[in-house]
Amino acid sequence: MKPRRTHRLRDMAREREGFRSRALSAFAIVLVCFVVLIWRFVHLQIFQHEEYTTRSESNRVKIIPRPSNRGLILDRHGVVLADNWPAYRLEIIPEQVDDLADTLERLADIIELGQDDLEKFRELRMARHSFQSIPLRLQLEEVEVARFSVNRHAFPGVNVVAYQTRQYPFDHSFAHVIGYVSRLDRSDLNRVDAREYVATTHIGKSGVERYYEAFLHGKGGRQQVETNAQGRVIDVLESEPQRSGMNLHLTIDAVLQLAAVEALGDRNGAVVALDPATGEVLALVSAPSYNPNLFVNGISTRDYRALLDSPDQPLFNRALQGGYEPGSTLKPFMALAGLELGEIDRNTIVNSIGYYQLPDQARRYHDWNPGGHGPVDVVEALAQSVNVFFFRLAVDLTIDRIHDYLDDFGFGAPTGLDLYGEISGVLPSREWKRAHRNLPWFPGETVILGIGQGFMVTTPLQLANATAAMANRGRMVQPHLLRAVENPQSGVLQYPEYPSTTVPILDAENWQLVIQGMEGVVHGVRGTARAIAADDPPFRIAGKSGTAQVYELKEGEKYNAEEVAEHLRDHALFIAFAPADAPTIALAVIAEHGGGGSSVAAPIARKVIDAWLKAPIADDQVISFHDPKVQLRREMR
Amino acid sequence: MIAAQSLQRMSRRMFNRPRLDWPLVGLIMATVALGMVILYSASEGDSQLVIKQGVRFLIGLAVMFVISHLPPTQMRHLTPFLYVVGIVLLLIVAFAGVGTGAQRWLNLGVARFQPSELLKLSVPMMMAWYLHSRSYPPSLRTTLSSLVIVVIPAVLIYQQPDLGTAILVAISGLFVLFLSGLSWRLIISLAVAAAALSPILWNAMHEYQKNRVLMFLDPEADPLGRGWNIIQSKIAVGSGGLTGKGWQQGTQAHLEFLPEKSTDFILATFAEEFGLMGVLVLFSLYMLIIWRGLVIAMAAKDCYSRLLSGALVLTFFVYVAVNAGMVSGLLPVVGVPLPLVSYGGTSMVSLMAGFGVIMSIYAHRKFISSDR
Q: Could you report the predicted ipTM of this complex, rounded to two decimals? A: 0.88
For residue A133, give Cα distances in angstroms to A93, A142, B6.
4, 22, 63
The residues, any chain, with a CB within 8 Å of residue A155's CB and separated by 6 or more, are A103, A106, A107, A148
Flag if A10 and B132 touch (Cβ within 8 Å). Answer: no
Q: What is the pLDDT of residue A186?
A: 62
The enclosing H or E element of A42 equals helix A12-42
Q: How confident is the model at residue A634 (pLDDT cuts 50, 70, 90)?
A: low
Closest residue by Cα to residue A384 from A451, A444, A439: A451
What average pLDDT score do residues A374-394 get? 94
Q: Are residues B117 and B350 in contact, defined by beta-carbon separation less than 8 angstroms? A: yes
Residue A386 has pLDDT above 60, yes or no: yes
Planar angle of CA B288, B294, B295, nearest 5 degrees = 90
**Residue among A23, A48, A62 minimizing CB distance to B298:** A23
Give the integer Cα–Cα distance in Å for B307 and B136. 13
Say if strands A247-250 and A233-240 run parallel, antiparallel, or are unpaired: unpaired
Report yes or no: B248 at the A interface, CB cutoff 8 Å: no
In tens, the pLDDT along A45-54 reads 999 998 888 8
Residue A128 Cα to chain centre, angstroms: 36
Cβ separation of A238 and B224 shorter than 8 Å? yes
Residue B296: other Cβ atoms inside 10 A? 23
Query: What is the pLDDT, as a whole number, of residue A120?
Result: 75
Q: Which of A279, A307, A67, A90 is nearest to A180 (CA)?
A: A307
**Cα torsion through B107, B110, B112, B115, rounded to 10:** -80
Q: What residues of chain B, 76 to 135, have a C-beta less than 8 Å from chain A?
A: 80, 100, 129-130, 132-135
pLDDT 10s per residue in chain B (372 long)? Answer: 555 666 566 555 555 555 788 999 999 999 999 999 999 988 877 888 899 999 999 999 999 999 998 889 899 999 999 999 999 988 888 776 554 444 555 555 445 567 888 888 899 999 999 988 887 788 888 888 898 999 999 988 887 777 778 888 898 898 998 898 888 888 888 888 888 887 887 777 777 777 766 765 665 555 555 567 788 888 889 989 999 888 888 777 666 667 677 888 899 999 999 999 999 999 999 999 999 999 999 998 788 999 999 999 999 999 999 999 989 988 877 778 899 999 877 788 889 999 999 999 998 875 444 443
Beta strands in A308-464 (DSSP E): 350-352, 355-357, 364-366, 374-376
pLDDT band at A1 (very low <50, low <70, confident <90, very high): very low
Of A627, A605, A313, nearest in space to A467 by CA: A605
For an interface test with A, which of B239, B260, B287, B327 has the most A Cβ atoms less than 10 Å from its Cβ? B239
Query: Could you tell me which chain B residue has the CA closest to the CA of A24?
Result: B294
Q: Average pLDDT, stretch A7-23?
A: 78
Residue A637: is its pLDDT beyond 50?
Answer: no
A48 contacts B279? CB cut-off 8 A? no
CB-CB under 8 Å, A238 with B242: no
Q: Is B171 on the interface with A (CB under 8 A)?
A: no
Name the H helices within A420-556.
430-437, 443-449, 460-471, 508-523
DSSP code for B110: S
The burial class, CB within 10 Å (0-12 / 13-18 / 19+), for A559 is middle
Q: Among residues 338-367 of chain B, which lie with CB inside 8 Å of chain A?
A: none
Q: Which residues contact B225 (CB under 8 A, 6 or more apart)?
A: none
Coil/strand/helix, residue A349: coil
Q: How far apart are CA A252 and CA A484, in angstroms?
A: 12
* pLDDT score, position B372: 38
Residue A16, pLDDT > 90, answer: no
Q: Show residues of chain A in contact with B279, CB under 8 Å.
A: 38, 41, 45
What does the angle CA A17 – CA A19 – CA A21 come to, to the nearest 5 degrees?
70
In this prediction, residues A28-42 reach a mean pLDDT of 95
As a whole number of angstroms, the distance between CA A199 and CA A192 comes to: 13
- Does any CB of chain A come closer than 8 Å to the CB of residue B69? no
- What pLDDT is recorded for position A236? 76
CB of A34 less than 8 A from some CB of B:
yes
pLDDT digit string, tens, across residues A200-217: 778 899 999 999 999 999
More confident of the two residues B213 and A180:
A180
Mind telling me how many Å the CA of B35 is from chain A's nearest CA?
19
Cα B117 → chain centroid: 9
Q: Are A299 and A115 in contact (CB under 8 A)?
A: no
Question: Measured between alpha carbons, how far is B271 from A95 in angstroms, rounded to an integer?
Answer: 27
Strands A350-352 and A374-376: antiparallel
Greater pLDDT, B347 or A555: B347
Calculate the alpha carbon distances from A478 to A394, A482, B34, B347 in Å.
28, 11, 59, 47
Instruction: Determine, for residues A59 and B252 on separate chains, whether the beta-carbon distance falls below 8 Å.
Output: yes
CB pairs under 8 A between A and B: 149
Mean pLDDT within A500-527: 92
**With contact defined as beta carbons under 8 Å apart, do A439 and A387 qualify?**
no
- Number of CB atoms found within 10 A of residue A14's CB: 12
Q: Which of A286, A328, A429, A545 is catalytic?
A: A328
What average pLDDT does range A289-314 have in this prediction?
87
> Would you tell me how many other CB atoms lie within 10 Å of the CB of residue A241?
11
Residue A129 has pLDDT above 70, yes or no: no
Question: Distance between CA A333 and CA A347 in Å, rounded?
Answer: 18
**Lowest-pLDDT choice from A1-10, A115-124, A127-136, A382-391:** A1-10
Direct distance between the N- and C-terminal alpha carbons of chain B, in angstroms, rounded to an integer: 40
Region A590-601: what's the mean pLDDT? 85
Q: Give the C-alpha distances (Å, rounded to integers) separating A572 from A19, A390, A458, A462, A594.
A: 87, 20, 14, 16, 5
Q: Which of A210, A248, A205 is nearest to A75 (CA)?
A: A248
Alpha helices (H) along chain B: 2-15, 22-42, 47-68, 72-96, 115-131, 140-158, 163-179, 184-204, 207-217, 228-240, 251-254, 266-299, 303-327, 345-363
The mean-pLDDT minimum among A79-83, A130-134, A501-505 falls in A130-134
Q: What residue spans define the domains of chain B?
A: 74-205
pLDDT at site A58:
67
**Mean pLDDT of chain A, nearest integer:** 86
Asked if A478 and A498 count as a contact pair (C-beta separation under 8 A), the reply is: yes
Angle between helices B345-363 and B115-131 (to 10 degrees): 30
CB proximity A4 to B under 8 Å: yes
Domains of chain A: 254-287+323-599+622-636 (3.40.710.10)
Average confidence (pLDDT) over A26-53? 93
CB-CB contact of A325 with A467 (8 Å): no
pLDDT (0 to 100) of residue A190: 72
pLDDT score at A282: 96
| Residue A328 annotated in active site | yes
For chain A, what percent of residues have pLDDT higher than 70?
89
More confident residue, A14 or A249: A249
- CB spacing of A238 vs B328 below 8 angstroms: no
Cβ distance of B239 and A1 shorter than 8 Å: no
Output the CA–CA distances (angstroms, integers) from residue B301 to B23, B304, B328, B360, in the order listed: 20, 9, 39, 12
Instruction: Return the sign of the alpha-carbon dihedral for residues A244, A249, A254, A257.
Output: negative
Subunit contact B238:A6, Cβ cutoff 8 A: no
Which pLDDT value is given to residue B104? 56
pLDDT, residue B3, reads 59
Question: What is the Cα A397 distance to its own chain's centre?
Answer: 37
Q: A116: Cβ–Cβ under 8 A, 6 or more apart, which residues? A: A298, A300
pLDDT tens readout for residues A318-352: 999 999 999 999 999 999 999 999 999 999 999 98
* Euclidean distance between CA atoms B354 and B168, whole angstroms: 14
The average pLDDT across A149-165 equals 84
Query: What is the Rg, in whole angstroms, of the alpha carbon atoms belonging to chain A?
Result: 34
- Chain B CB within 8 Å of residue A229 CB: yes
